Amino acid sequence: MFSLQRLLGHDTKFFELFAQSIEEAKESVKSLKLIIQNKAGNDELTKLANARQRNKQIAVEVKTLLCKTFVTGFDREDLEDLANSLYKIPKTIEKFAERYNVARNSVQQLDFSRHASLIEEMLNILEEMLIALKKEDSAKLMELNQNLHKVEVKGDELLKELVCELYSGKYDPLKVLILKDLYETLEKVMDRCRSAGNVMYRILLKYS
């Protein structure tokens, strides 16, 4: 495998920025958990907005660094795609929180904890994948990518289960629309995590 460190000019700044981005996403999940447990006020929405803004700034820093760094034989698009994928995680979590807050009276008795746990698990895997990529540990990264896929499948199965419940006639039509939107937004968060993992795996395949 070509040395990623050599391709990045021996500069670990990219990895540091990606690690910061994942950490901001994990902080977003902490706020998400408080919100769906109805233990949060407007301050948690502010925290989510701040995490999203910080992650956006990280994505900008990655693009700026790409403009200043000569990367031989390495696709700049991969690094930019990874930055964008990671940015979209807290962005989509914030979108869910805003919608949840608007519909709180209708949905606060429902359980979204399984979604939050799956998202948290995916972010932990992404964190490990980034470490494996930095260490050029292809076997570990491939294993983690498979684990990420398994969690994504759990998310798909959860969405299918909940949609079936929505169509059972248990809820009134307005509540069905609200819940379907919220469930699908959380599914998008998991898709964002999967996209970030796909980019790291793509880098592995190109340089292995």
pLDDT tens-digit map of 87-121: 999 999 999 999 998 998 888 888 999 999 999 99
8-12, 193-197, 203-207: range with highest mean pLDDT? 193-197
The most distant pair of C-alpha atoms in the chain lies apart, rounded to whole Å, by 59
Tell whether the model's pLDDT for residue 57 goes beyond 70: yes
Q: CA torsion, points 2, 75, 20, 25, in degrees to nearest 10?
A: -120
Res 1 pLDDT > 50 = no
- pLDDT, tens digit, for every residue of 76-95? 888 889 999 999 999 999 99
Contact 122, 193 (CB under 8 A): yes
Q: What is the mean pLDDT of residues 11-37?
A: 90
Q: State the average pLDDT over residues 168-197.
A: 94
Tell me, what's the pLDDT at 74? 53
Where in the chain are the domains?
4-206
Supply the pLDDT for residue 6: 52
| Rounded percentage of the chain residues whose pLDDT exceeds 90 | 61
Mean pLDDT of 27-34: 93
Answer whether residue 197 shows pLDDT above 90: yes
> What CATH number was assigned to the domain covering residues 4-206?
1.20.58.220
pLDDT tens per residue, range 34-49: 999 877 667 888 888 8
Is residue 50 within a helix (H) or strand (E), and if so which, with residue range?
helix 42-68
The pLDDT of 124-151, averaged and rounded, is 94
Please name which of 207, 208, 204 lies closest in space to residue 82, comparing C-alpha atoms. Answer: 204
String of DSSP letters for 189-202: HHHHHHHHHHHHHH
